[in-house]
Every structure is written in C-alpha cells, then in structure tokens.
Chains A and B, each alone.
Chain A
Amino acid sequence: MSAAPTIDPGTHEPPDYLQVQSSAEFDELRRAHRSFAFPLTLGFILWYLVYVLLSSYAGGFMATKVAGRVNVAFVLGLGQFVTTFLIAWWYSRHAAARLDPKAEAIKSRLEADKPRLEADA
C-alpha cells in the first residue's frame, strides 16, 4: 500500500533509477522542465507581488485615468488575468513540444524492459 512501484521482486528487477537519473537523456528532460518552469514561476510571483505592492502603496499612480472611468488599477488587474492565461498557454505549448516527447521516450524504454510495470499502471 506504499507509493513505491509494486514490482514483483521474484520475477523482475526494478529499473535502475540511479542510472536513468544520471543519463544524458534524463538530464535534458530535467533541464527542459526546470529552466522553463522555475524562472517563469519566479517571474509571475514577482509580477503579482509588484501588483499587490502598487495597490497598497501607489494609489495615485493606480488612479491615473486610461479611458473613461477605466484607470491604471483596472488595466493592471485585468493584465494579471491576461498574463495568467498566456503563461498557462505558453507552458502547455512548451510541455507538448519539449517535455512530452522526451518523457515518453524514457518511459516507454523503461516499461518495455519491465512488462510487469506496465501491467501495474
């Protein structure tokens, strides 16, 4: 009932995960995920905090009129919605192009070696 893969130890050895982890192929996958997701996460959290700080401490700037009764505060607030939608779309495109094929390749190789794992999935 633990989260570990339930491989039957009698008939199949578990994959050597240490070896997979240190392979160049996996290193590329990890880098493709981290170099995209980590800076982007930092970026949107900072952009959100800037917005929160402006709301708290830059009332005059936020009140500047842009069009009719719509002011900078609304433009930036709606901007948070737009950037959230865009980042979600951008990440999904990146994942489909750069992460999924690499992950799929490693997975199918490991599971082809270990039929029991696939049956368990």
Chain B
Amino acid sequence: MMPPQQSYALQLAAGGAGEHRALIITLFAVFVAATLGITVWAGRQTKGAEDFYAGGRQFSGFQNGLAISGDYMSAASFLGIAGAIALFGYDGFLYSIGFLVAWLVALLLVAEPLRNSGRFTMGDVLAYRMRQRPVRTAAGTSTIVVSIFYLLAQMAGAGALVTLLLGITSEAGKILVVVLVGIVMILYVTIGGMKGTTWVQMVKAVLLIAGTLLITFLVALKFHFNLSGLLGAAAENSGKGAAFLQPGLKYGATATSKIDFISLGLALVLGTAGLPHILIRFYTVPTAKAARTSVNWAIGIIGVFYLMTIALGFGAAALLKPEAITAANKAGNTAAPQLAEVIGGGAGSTGGAVLLAVISAVAFATILAVVAGLTLASSSSFAHDIYVNVLRKGQATEKEEVGAARWATVGIGAVAIVLGVFARGLNVAGLVALAFAVAASANLPTLLYSLFWKRFTTRGALWSIYGGLASSVLLVLFSPVVSGKETSMFPGADFDFFPLENPGLISIPLGFLLGWLGSLLSKEEPDAKKYAELEVRSLTGTGAH
C-alpha cells in the first residue's frame, strides 16, 4: 500500500474519487452559473461598439488591474509554475520572473500611448499613420494567430486538467469538456462583450488570489514562517539536495538548453506588451492615467501571486514525494491541488477534500476567464480591423460592426473547439511560449516603431509583422516542439532542423531589423503630418476616445 498522501492522485488518475469529484463539479457549476448571471447583466448594458469592444471605457484603474491579472494568470502559470518548481526547484521559478518583468515594457512604453491613440484594437495604433488596408490585414492576421495558439494551449489544457482533477479518462468525456468550455466562453463573449468578460476576469482573479493565499498561509504556518526551513525541507525531500535550490536542473542540462532558456527569457520579457488580449484591456479605462494605474495594480497582484508560487512549489516539493507528483502528471501539473489536499489534512480528511475541490475549481475558473479574453481579442480584431476597415472599407454601421464581432466570436469559438478536440492528445505546452515569441517578434517592433520612430513606413510595418510572424512560426514548426523528441507534438515524425524550442532569439531581432530595413527601402515618404498627429495625441491624450 502507498502512504495516504500519495494515494489520492493515483486514485484520481484511475477515476475513483467520487465524493471529491461531486464537490469539484458543484463548486465549478456555481462559478459558471454566477459568471453567466453577471454576463447576462453586463449584456443588458452592452449596446454600441464602445460597449462591446471596450466595456464602455468605464472601468476604474483598480478594476482593470484586477481584470488584467485575471486575463494574464493562466492555468499554465498557476498549475504549470507550481508543478515546475515542485519538480525542478529553482528553475521552475525562473519562468515567473520573465512573466513579471515584462510588465515594465507595457508600463513605460505601451499602455498609455496605446490608450491615448487607439479605439478598440492593436491594429488601430499600428495602422494609424500607414495605409489602412494592408496594415490592418497584417495586424488582424497576427492578432488572430497569436490568440489562436494561446487559445489552443488553454483548450487542450482544459481537457488534460479534467482528466487529472476529475478522473475522467474516457475520450468522449474529454471531448465533452473541451466543447463545454468552448460553449461557455462563446456565451460570455457574445452576450457580455468586454463588460461581461472583464467581470468574469475580476471574479476569477479574486478567487485565484484567495485560493493561493490560503494555501500559502497554511504552508507558511507549517514551516513556522521560515523560508530557509521550507527550502531545506524541499531540497531534502526532493532527493536532489542543494542542486534543487540552484539554477540548472531544468535548463542547465546542455549547451543548447542554456541558449534555449535565453531565447525563452527574451520572448517572455518582450512578448507581454505585444499580446493583443492584454493590449485591448487598456481601452476599458477612461484615460491614460487610469491605464497606468491598472498596470501598476497588475504588477502588484501578479508579482505577489508569483511570489506565492514559491510557497506552493517548494511546499509541494517538501510535503509530497516526487514520485507521487510525477505519477499523477509527468509535468507536475497537479502538484498544487495535491498540495492543497495534503495541507488541508491529507487524503480522506474533510479539510483535504474541501481544499482540493476549491483549488481544482479555481483552476477551471482560470481557464474559462483566459479563453474568454483571447476569444474577445481575436473576434474584435476580425470585426474591427478586417471586416469593417478592410472588407467594408470603413463603411459599416455600428450595428453591423457589433453583429460581425458577435458572429466572429461564434466562428473563432467553433474553430477553437475543433482544434482543442484534435489537439487534446498532443503536447501543446510549448504553444503559450510560442504565442509570446510571435507577439514579441511581430507585434512589439511595429508598435514601438509606430509610436516612437518618425521614419517608419507601411512597408516597414508589413515586413516587421509578416517577417516576425513567419520566422517565429516556421522556426517552431521545425523545432523539437513539433517533432523529433519524445515530448514533441508529433513524436513519431522527425523534421526538427532548428535546435531551440523557442524561436525568440532569432525571430525577435529579425522583426526589429525588418521593420527598420523595410522603412529605409520604402519608396514612399513617411507621412510626417500623420506622425505629428499620432505623437501629439499619444503623449497628451488630445482627442482620445
């Protein structure tokens, strides 16, 4: 027999956790019912385009900061980072630092000018002083590609999570969960628009922070608020000793993995400020000052959350046997819920069962809030950039535009469901890092050049967006993420010519270089008048919507 602390995870995998399962499903159903109620309420107040895309621009800096945190802290950061720390110690913690530092790029360079000069999408700012149709097509394309990669990872993650937490192992069960997640997400966005989505993200952020605080407090209590004691216990229990508390267990294996880590770090730190679902959140507040306040709150909330993942990860390493973690999930994705059970009193105790159910329900809530934000970003860009400004040449009524956005939500939601169903057996963990790399390579250079470089032209924008997009996607296609390794998406195939898992080291400098080169080689002169308008408006807020 196994010691009691190990048994539950295995029981879960075998599908024999009846009572706990009922509790998890009940809590989750309460969350879905409550958030759908909020969505219907928000939908009643959603009339025009400004309501649908930007929640009426009526949210306060604090509310938006909370919603940004809810949009940003995905299941990957909650379960993934806690699991990575539980298994690899210090190296798991490295991820979260890049995710946090990245917010300074958004704060210092992007949030305020974007809020001042755009209306609804990233494309509004990129196309401001360029030829509208080609640049909006490019901006829409990269928005949709980044969001779909991100979405796919979350949808496939939902399928995997349900196996782990509810013990549903049948393929039909997993498909059902992916379809249900997709339907709830489509309902949130079509009915509630940005207002509904923002409230869902705020509720989720509060639940996630509260759940994490509780576990952190219980872990701290157990180790008498002594960090050194917790680290020591984790190092001994992991069986790896001092190495567990130093960098190297995950990324330090080979010369290639070290370079890969640098590439990943670059993508993380430069990607955030180019993620469309994050950028559109800045339009939900009335002024640039409120946008600044919301980033400050987001930095505070996300920073404290990542600090708590130290307690979660090392707590799991100290209190669970490493084999118990890997037996439930090879990547350690259930370490946090497993820890919740042990810290609540262990398997079979009421406290353990309740805490496990709470943390599992929070993980589901996390997925729903993130997929809603992603769907909204891509359907907004499809409707506003591509349908209205490219296909209809700006000649659509507001009613037609909002209608198009709602239909785009249904379409993108359907695509996400289908992709999620097909991807459920694949290892898609690399896709989130890929979304960051594409955002950093295709979106950030164009955004920064547009806002700050006088000589930037339409050709520069197109080269930068398409060059950054194509290079990052192609490099990943030929990397070990897709083929050649046991952990690849297609382990059977073998076309991994590019050694790194993250393309950022090549594709980000390339995106910047192409934007510069394309502008220098343009035949057309940059539009000085339009740049003057953009610069004055972006720095002063004159005529902001």
Chain A residues in the interface with B (C-beta under 8 A): 1-5, 7, 14-15, 17-18, 20-21, 26, 29-30, 33-34, 37, 40-41, 44-45, 48-49, 51-53, 55-57, 59, 62-63, 67-71, 73-74, 77-78, 80-81, 84-85, 87-89, 91-92, 95, 99-100, 103-104, 106-107, 110-111, 117, 120-121
Contact = CB atoms under 8 A, between A and B. Distances in A.
Given A41-B108, A80-B100, A91-B108, A29 B540 contact: yes
B128 interface: yes
B117 A3 contact: yes
Interface string B512-545: 0000000000000000110111011101111111
14 contacts: A2-B132, A17-B532, A17-B535, A18-B528, A26-B540, A30-B539, A52-B94, A56-B247, A74-B90, A77-B94, A84-B104, A91-B107, A100-B289, A110-B543
B299 A84 contact: yes
A41 to B, nearest CB: 5
Nearest to A66: B228
A68 B246 CA distance: 14
B542 A85 contact: no
A70 B228 contact: yes
B542 A110 contact: yes
Nearest 6 interchain pairs by C-beta: A68-B228, A55-B247, A21-B532, A17-B532, A69-B231, A5-B543
Interface in B83-141: 90, 93-94, 97-98, 100-101, 103-105, 107-109, 112, 117-119, 124-125, 127-128, 132
B132 A117 contact: no
B216 to A, nearest CB: 15
B118 to A, nearest CB: 6
Contacts of A73: 90, 245-247
B396 interface: yes
Query: A interface, by DSSP: helix, strand, loop or mixed?
Result: helix
A85 B300 contact: yes
A88 B296 contact: yes
B22 interface: no
A33 B246 contact: no
A17 B536 contact: yes
A38 to B, nearest CB: 8
B303 A81 contact: yes
Query: B interface, by DSSP: helix, strand, loop or mixed?
Result: helix
Interface in B382-421: 384, 388-389, 394-396, 401
A72 to B, nearest CB: 9
Nearest to A89: B296
B269 interface: yes
B265 interface: yes
A111 B543 contact: yes
A71 B48 CA distance: 55
B262 A53 contact: yes
A104 B287 CA distance: 12
Nearest to A7: B543
A3 to B, nearest CB: 4
B104 A29 contact: no
